Amino acid sequence: MGFKRINFKEMKILRIAILFSLFSLTSGQNWIQSQVLERQFNQALSNYNNGRYATSETILNQILLNEPGVFEEPVLLLLLKSQVGFNKNTKARETSSKILTKFPKSKYLANVMESLGDLYVNETNYSSAYRMYHRSKSLSINPEYSQKIDMKLLKLIQIGLSSSLLNELLILEPNPKFRNIHLIARANSEILSGRPDDAAITLNKVDPTFLPDIYALFFENLLRASYKPSSPVLMVGIVLPLSGDQIEEGEAFLTGFYEGEKSVGETKQRLSILVQDSRSTNLQAIMQAQNLEKMNQLKALICPLDDQASLAVTSALSSTNIPIILTNLQRDDLSKIYNKSFHFYSTLAMQGRMAARYIVSELGLSNIAVIAPANQDGEIQTDSFIRELDHLGSNVVATEWYSGEPINLKRQFKSLRQVAFDLLPKEENYDEALGMDIDSLDALFDVSAEDFFDLPKQKKKKMTTSDSSKVYLNTIQAIYLPINKSDLEFIGPQIPMYNLDAKLIGNGNWQNLNILQKDNIGPHLKGLSLLTNFFHHKVDSIDYEGDQLNAYYRGYNTAKILIAIDLENQSRQSLNQSLKNINFHVGEGFYYSPSVLNKQVNSAFQLLEFDGEGFIHQGVFQGDSLQLVLPQNP
């Protein structure tokens, strides 16, 4: 079955409207004071509804200091919700205890139980949360409120609750509606445990006439899954942006992951997925990752996050034992911070390193130059490139940097031409032609060429640095250009102007055929080579393009790698070792082969060559062996 993503955002952002008209003021309550309290309460309520929980808490505590009278009960309830929303769980427990002590028969008991359920969700204590939500549901007769609780229960059920908890609740529960929910929860846990036959027996006990509509689709999916043969299941958590400014890439990744998980092929293995929203912020990513790590049933954490969020999560979990799979091309090797983190899509440093090895070990070129952006990405790739050249016994003859948009690189290219002139071979001396050392005879007698050759002297033309730019120079044999994604449209037209007959090697940001195919660019860049971790040339019906298309296939290929591993009885420790033991994996436009030097960083960069019209796939680097592997699905 395709497991739906689970997002607890709705559990934490609540919309409540407690109307003061429901409360009758006692005769001793001053009218002016009640107006002040009402205004303060409405201010706190507005802050709560807008996610400003700390501000709401401050206002409510101020109200409680001023003898709120009959308003104390709703004030305490909103205070509890604010504290839960701000993850102040200790304070929330104190507030809930105060409500239950002072108002044991409160009309808001259902809301209190719901808030306690939210508190337990914050703590990843899902069994206790499930109990609290059921108590809340049983205390309310409002159909709309009951449906809201059902939505929260459905999200919890999909996690995979403890069978012992569900069996206990089934023994004690006489209500057929509640029993149906417990049975569905148990059936899902049985399927996640690879026991579809047991799930079929459990589902046979469900009475559809007492099943709330919200559970109907999930019930049908469970029925279909129960007829499938038993298969190993691995439960993983995913932290990714499903709101905020990175929402489009996050949703594309998740869609691709589900598609990859469903295409199990011959492995017959499945993934159970628990999804948490990072909200496109580092702090939320850390909080969600820490909550997921506490769940022992989760064997790995998948993080399609940007550089800063990945660094934050990796650092926060560095003392744990859960494997972290990073699915974006990262700036830094985060396995140096946490030795159980894996770079499925490699690092910028590895990209620079492999480019250097390609130029020297595969092409055998020397006199290498670099033109790179003067930013963090450019510096990381260039530094790694130069270090690897030095390791291989080669060197860079010139390094040129540019800042901002490379609209005019005249200075950089003229500097390379100057270096190219300096590398031209000097004219041979006559002493070398004669095979003797003229200086050693000079002390004995004068030697003149006229004594040996009666030939007219010819004036030899000497190349100078002021030659025409039309002259092609080939003394610089290769130029490495690790550009930014938006730089190609500026750099592409300039390269042909400076007539440097050198092999051009780029990074993945050169993959823009709309620019390369222009008449003033394409014919002049024929033979350009680039290294990339993703190349998809098929025309398909996927409704994504650009960064969203890349995110979709990152999700798809990540799922495919995981289900290719033997998932039977995997623990966190054994999965960590299984990931290190991957030798070579062929994905969709993607390959995975860990570096020989670091089994946690992918070094399977693909080699593409531009033929003036399009890219020709030349092969894939497998590990550090530099053996070009022909693609198996070109």
Give the mean model confidence (pLDDT) for residues 1-16: 41
Do 442 and 385 meet the contact criterion of CB atoms below 8 Å apart? Answer: no
At 559, the amino acid letter reads A
Say yes or no to pLDDT of 16 above 50.
no
Please provide the average confidence, as pLDDT, over all residues in the chain: 86
Do 498 and 551 belong to one domain? Answer: no
Tell me which of 444 and 625 has the higher pLDDT. 625
Q: What does the pLDDT read at residue 169? A: 94
Q: What does the pLDDT read at residue 170? A: 94
**Final residue belonging to a domain, choices 101, 118, 147:** 147
**Final residue belonging to a domain, choices 196, 230, 264:** 230
Q: What does the pLDDT read at residue 579? A: 96
Q: How confident is the model at residue 230 (pLDDT cuts 50, 70, 90)?
A: confident
Q: What does the pLDDT read at residue 478? A: 97
Cα–Cα nearest to 77, from 24, 115, 129, 122: 115
Q: Would residue 154 count as lying in a domain? A: no
Q: What does the pLDDT read at residue 439? A: 42
Give the mean model confidence (pLDDT) for residues 36-50: 87
Q: What does the pLDDT read at residue 429? A: 37
Q: How confident is the model at residue 412 (pLDDT cuts 50, 70, 90)?
A: very high
Do 221 and 359 belong to one domain? Answer: no
Q: What does the pLDDT read at residue 30? A: 65
Q: What does the pLDDT read at residue 470? A: 63
Say yes or no to pLDDT of 444 above 50.
no
Q: Would residue 442 count as lying in a domain? A: no
Q: Are strands 529-532 and 606-610 parallel, antiparallel or unpaired?
A: antiparallel
Do 55 and 113 belong to one domain? Answer: yes
Q: How confident is the model at residue 631 (pLDDT cuts 50, 70, 90)?
A: low
- The C-alpha angle 206, 114, 239, rounded to 5 degrees, equals 85
| Chain centroid offset of residue 428 CA | 58
- Which of left, alpha, beta for 569 (phi over 0: left; psi -120 to 50: alpha)? left
Give the mean model confidence (pLDDT) for residues 158-176: 91
Percent of the chain with pLDDT over 70: 85
Q: Would residue 554 count as lying in a domain? A: yes
Say yes or no to pLDDT of 10 above 50.
no
Give the mean model confidence (pLDDT) for residues 340-350: 97
Check which CATH number belongs to the domain holding 552 and give it: 3.40.50.2300
Name the least confident of 1-15, 65-79, 147-161. 1-15
d(C-alpha 41, C-alpha 20), whole Å: 10
Q: Would residue 435 count as lying in a domain? A: no
Q: What does the pLDDT read at residue 267? A: 61
Q: What does the pLDDT read at residue 426? A: 73
Do 311 and 376 belong to one domain? Answer: no
Domains in the chain: how many in total? 4
Name the least confident of 30-39, 481-490, 549-558. 30-39
Cα–Cα nearest to 290, from 306, 314, 268: 314
Q: What does the pLDDT read at residue 627? A: 64
Q: Would residue 438 count as lying in a domain? A: no
Do 339 and 255 belong to one domain? Answer: yes
Do 54 and 90 belong to one domain? Answer: yes
Would you give the DSSP letter of residue 438?
Answer: H
Do 294 and 187 belong to one domain? Answer: no
Do 287 and 410 belong to one domain? Answer: no
Do 473 and 566 belong to one domain? Answer: no
Q: What does the pLDDT read at residue 229? A: 79
For tokens 């650009």, the residue is 546
Do 459 and 466 meet the contact criterion of CB atoms below 8 Å apart? Answer: no
State which residues form the domain around 356. 347-423+465-532+604-634
The pTM (predicted TM-score) of the whole model is 0.77
Give the mean model confidence (pLDDT) for residues 20-32: 47
pLDDT in tens, 120-153: 988 888 999 999 999 999 999 999 999 999 999 9
- Helix intervals (H) in 212-296: 216-226, 247-262, 282-293
Do 327 and 265 belong to one domain? Answer: yes
**Final residue belonging to a domain, choices 92, 118, 147:** 147
Q: How confident is the model at residue 264 (pLDDT cuts 50, 70, 90)?
A: low
Q: What does the pLDDT read at residue 423? A: 92
Do 488 and 544 belong to one domain? Answer: no
Q: How confident is the model at residue 622 (pLDDT cuts 50, 70, 90)?
A: confident
Q: Would residue 448 count as lying in a domain? A: no
Say yes or no to pLDDT of 331 above 90.
yes
Q: Would residue 429 count as lying in a domain? A: no
Cross-strand pairs, 275: 238
Q: Would residue 432 count as lying in a domain? A: no
Check which CATH number belongs to the domain holding 47 and give it: 1.25.40.10
Do 251 and 322 belong to one domain? Answer: yes
